[in-house]
């Protein structure tokens, strides 16, 4: 479903105000949970930049729906945008969904495969510890913004059922999310319509064609891809709308439930757009969709 709004607003965009390579203030929080007890696979050291974490934002018991969502902030794979981390985490918790904001590894210190490993592990950790956080292991979603949308779409298309004989019990559970929310997402690595900064930070300057193909996630959708909600603006100047359209088309082709909301005007990186009377309506559509799919009461 496509919805168009005809009023343009010039919003300040924190994501575009920072250059690639910078780390936003969001650092995981005091309650951050390490994804690996020891060093993460491929970690070059044990500094904060080397330690992927999830920070829980848990709902009050009377509001809890039992659902959970891992949130992937954007930042071109070079920083983490605060407004796409803390605000969504609180928004979900206020509506009864347990949120887990992912601090994943970043360029230039890291490239593939660190980031895909981190998002898969985050989903496994939440699922493996579902009883502890009082969530349903069959209702764990993924939500990503911009490059975080690429990471979320990677989680939704590059998953596995787990390894039953793994020594690490967390690796025994599935990394498949049960829904995906993609906000103005980078989807493709195709140079004709990707966000090149995200591509370079993820895959490097001269990636092998096989990697470009593999992480052009519009080509990786299957019937097992979870139901997906997509929000984008038609005149996004950083990540072309074609990214969202191609992923939605692939979902339709593979009979994956998909809902697409396209606003006619709006800059990149708006987050929840809570102060915009037009763009801010997108979260109402998301709330209705989450209810439809059993994530909200």
User: Hey, is 132 helix, strand or coil?
Assistant: helix
Q: In angstroms, rounded to a whole number, what is the distance separating the alpha carbons of residues 213 and 223?
A: 19
Look at residues 191, 172, 272 and name the one whose alpha carbon lies nearest to residue 231. Answer: 272
Q: What is the pTM of this model?
A: 0.91
- 46 CB neighbour count, 10 Å cutoff: 11
Q: In angstroms, rounded to a whole number, what is the distance separating the alpha carbons of residues 99 and 156?
A: 17
- What are the 10-residue block averages of pLDDT along the chain, 297 residues in total? 30 29 52 96 97 97 98 98 97 98 98 98 98 98 98 98 97 98 98 98 98 98 98 98 98 98 97 96 98 96
For tokens 């794979």, name the residue: 77
Q: In angstroms, rounded to a whole number, what is the distance separating the alpha carbons of residues 209 and 134?
A: 43
H or E stretch at 53 = strand 53-57
Q: In angstroms, rounded to a whole number, what is the distance separating the alpha carbons of residues 61 and 235?
A: 41
Look at residues 39, 33, 27 and name the one whose alpha carbon lies nearest to residue 133. Answer: 33
- pLDDT number for residue 1: 38
Structure tokens at 266: 């709006």
Phi and psi (nearest 5°) for 229? -115, 135
User: Hey, is 134 helix, strand or coil?
Assistant: coil
Q: In angstroms, rounded to a whole number, what is the distance separating the alpha carbons of residues 86 and 8?
A: 26
Look at residues 176, 45, 175, 42 and name the one whose alpha carbon lies nearest to residue 121. Answer: 175
- pLDDT number for residue 26: 57
- pLDDT number for residue 9: 25
Q: In angstroms, rounded to a whole number, what is the distance separating the alpha carbons of residues 215 and 238?
A: 19
Look at residues 152, 77, 145 and name the one whose alpha carbon lies nearest to residue 120. Answer: 152
Which pairing describes strands 228-233 and 140-145: parallel, antiparallel, or unpaired?
unpaired
DSSP string, 82-105: GGGTHHHHHHHHHTT-EEEEEE--
Look at residues 55, 15, 42, 158 and name the one whose alpha carbon lies nearest to residue 110. Answer: 42
Which residues does 280 contact at the CB level (< 8 Å), separation at least 6?
Answer: 272, 273, 274
- pLDDT number for residue 29: 66
| Residues 112/203, Cβ–Cβ less than 8 Å | yes
Q: Is 171 exposed, middle or buried (0-12, 13-18, 19+ CB in 10 A)?
A: middle
Q: In angstroms, rounded to a whole number, what is the distance separating the alpha carbons of residues 205 and 59?
A: 42
Structure tokens at 36: 């690996």
């Amino acid at each position: 479903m496509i919805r168009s709004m005809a009023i343009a607003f010039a919003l300040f965009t924190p994501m575009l105000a920072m250059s690639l390579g910078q780390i936003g203030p969001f650092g995981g929080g005091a309650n951050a949970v390490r994804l690996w007890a020891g060093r993460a696979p491929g970690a070059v050291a044990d500094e904060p930049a080397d330690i992927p974490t999830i920070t829980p934002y848990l709902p009050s018991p009377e509001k809890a729906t039992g659902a959970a969502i891992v949130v992937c902030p954007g930042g071109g794979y070079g920083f983490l945008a605060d407004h796409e981390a803390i605000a969504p985490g609180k928004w979900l918790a206020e509506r009864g969904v347990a949120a887990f904001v992912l601090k994943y590894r970043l360029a230039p210190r890291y490239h593939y495969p660190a980031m895909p490993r981190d998002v898969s592990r985050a989903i496994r950790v939440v699922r493996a510890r579902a009883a502890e956080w009082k969530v349903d292991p069959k209702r764990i979603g993924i939500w990503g913004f911009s490059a975080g949308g690429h990471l979320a779409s990677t989680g939704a298309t590059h998953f596995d059922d787990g390894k039953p004989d793994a020594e690490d019990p967390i690796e025994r559970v599935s990394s498949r999310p049960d829904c995906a929310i993609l906000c103005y997402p980078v989807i493709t690595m195709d140079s004709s319509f990707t966000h090149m900064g995200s591509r370079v930070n993820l895959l490097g300057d001269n990636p092998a064609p096989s990697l470009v193909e593999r992480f052009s996630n519009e080509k990786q959708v299957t019937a097992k891809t979870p139901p997906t909600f997509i929000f984008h603006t038609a005149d996004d100047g950083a990540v072309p709308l074609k990214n969202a359209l191609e992923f939605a088309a692939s979902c339709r082709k593979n009979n994956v439930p998909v809902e697409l909301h396209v606003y006619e005007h709006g800059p990149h990186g708006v987050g929840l757009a809570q102060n915009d009377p037009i763009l801010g309506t997108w979260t109402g559509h998301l709330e209705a969709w989450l209810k439809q799919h059993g994530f909200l009461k």
